[in-house]
Amino acid sequence: MNTRPTRLFAAFSLTLALAACQKLGSGGGGDGDTAPSLAVGDSVSGEITSSSRLNYNDGSRHQGYRVTLKSGQAVALELGGALDGQLSVFDGQSLLASASSRGYEGEAGTSEVSLAFKAPKDGTYLVAVNSAGADAFGPFKLKSSQVTPYDGKPLGAGSEAIDWLMGDKQDYTLKVDKAGIYTIAMESGALDAYLHLSGHGIDIEDDDGGGNLNARIRAYLEPGDYTIGTSSLNGSTGAFKLKVALTPVDKDLIIRDGSALVIGRTAQGMVDSRGRRSFVLDLDAARHLQFDAIADNFDSVLRISGPGIDAEDDDGGNGTNARLVLQLGPGRYTVTVSSFGSQQGVFELETTDLGDEPATPANSNRKDAAEAATEAAAAN
């Protein structure tokens, strides 16, 4: 988690560049009263070209749209297309909110920018589509949609609210009626989002888990009331969207430590608030086994300890999944799956009997006698 001073400088430069949209320019497109209208819920297509209005301070180009809103009305804007662009909203000469692509590309190489804001009063506002620089041109599509502003009530599964971060931190109540995996996301184009979830033994923080500068927490929650803390790492204030989604869990999902592993059977589990989950494996005879910890939304780590063994692996499997291949003797073993960085999420733990195939010692800390003797001789 970095405050990234360069981002503060970039944000300041962006404000200056976008403010220049209000200055005189040349070429097509208009601002203020001459800009075309955009109704909430509609989409428009356009293109930034060398004939678009010029921002004299940096040579970039822009196109403006007028949006008429009621006081407190909340709107989400999405900018897509090939244009490397930025979005900004003005109330007269005042900049209300802004967002840029920050180098993120969506499907088929398209640039994506999202921005949500709330009208402080009745009036007409200028939405500016601005190119990221003097050499940025291309087609774009601007989509607007109505969103529900936060009404002060507790949040729950399926909630989606927009609010303004006015100070260092704002807290919200999350009411959980049904146990399950909850995903809490804080999205903003105006600030570096930071989330903190607490209550009922849960204490989880996240900075950029939602991609770009957005924050996301994913955790298994029991029924009860929790506190969602929102803040900004770069000290900015502005609009953000807070979303809560529930993923129902299968009745066989393992959410407690100490469950028994069965060879040949896949166990589905959820790491706890510390980012880990442990299992027990009892062997009555020597076995040659392969363990795979498979997770889609976190980097898994495997550790197996027991009689004569203490092995760990991070990325031995496919992608960022962990894998251990071990020759284990009779006894009780502890198998722990954890997430790199203590992230939350669901995983699958596969335990496979490899039969008489030779063991692969690459991810085991046990060495045979010959290898140990060779290392001892080299040391002397």
Given this model, what pLDDT does residue 184 score? Answer: 95
What is the spatial distance between Cα 292 and Cα 271, in angstroms, rounded to a whole number? 15
Check if 159-248 and 259-358 are the same fold.
Answer: yes
CATH match for 159-248 among 3.40.50.620, 3.40.50.150, 2.60.120.380, 3.40.640.10 = 2.60.120.380
Q: What percent of the chain stands above pLDDT 70?
A: 81
Structural domain spans, the chain: 42-147, 159-248, 259-358
What is the spatial distance between Cα 82 and Cα 163, in angstroms, rounded to a whole number? 30
Asked if residue 193 has pLDDT above 90, the reply is yes
CA atoms within a 13 Å half-sphere pointing along the CA-CB vector of 184: 28
Given this model, what pLDDT does residue 57 score? Answer: 84
Query: How confident is residue 148, by pLDDT bands cut at 50, 70 and 90?
Result: confident
CATH level 3 topology of 42-147: Jelly Rolls (2.60.120)
Query: How confident is residue 367, by pLDDT bands cut at 50, 70 and 90?
Result: very low
Asked if residue 369 has pLDDT above 50, the reply is no
- Distance (Å) of CA 12 to CA 56, 226, 365: 17, 36, 52
Q: Which CATH class is domain 259-358?
A: mainly beta
pLDDT per position as a tens digit, 37-96: 999 999 999 999 999 999 888 899 999 999 999 998 888 888 999 999 999 999 998 988
Rounded mean pLDDT of the chain? 82
Asked if residue 218 has pLDDT above 50, the reply is yes
Q: Which of 322, 330, 333, 335 is nearest to 362 (CA)?
A: 322
Q: In what order do the strands lie in the sheet with 138-147?
A: 43-48, 138-147, 74-80, 113-118
pTM of the predicted structure, to 2 decimals: 0.52
Asked if residue 111 has pLDDT above 70, the reply is no
Given this model, what pLDDT does residue 31 score? Answer: 60
In DSSP notation, 165-232 reads: E-SSEEEEEEEE-S-EEEEEEEE-SSS-EEEEEEETTEEEEESSTTSTT-EEEEEEE-SEEEEEEEEE
pLDDT per position as a tens digit, 234-245: 777 777 899 999
**Contact (Cβ atoms closer than 8 angstroms) between residue 112 and residue 122:** no
- Distance (Å) of CA 370 to CA 112, 310, 329, 378: 58, 20, 20, 12
At 293, which amino acid appears?
Answer: A
100: its two tokens: 């840029």
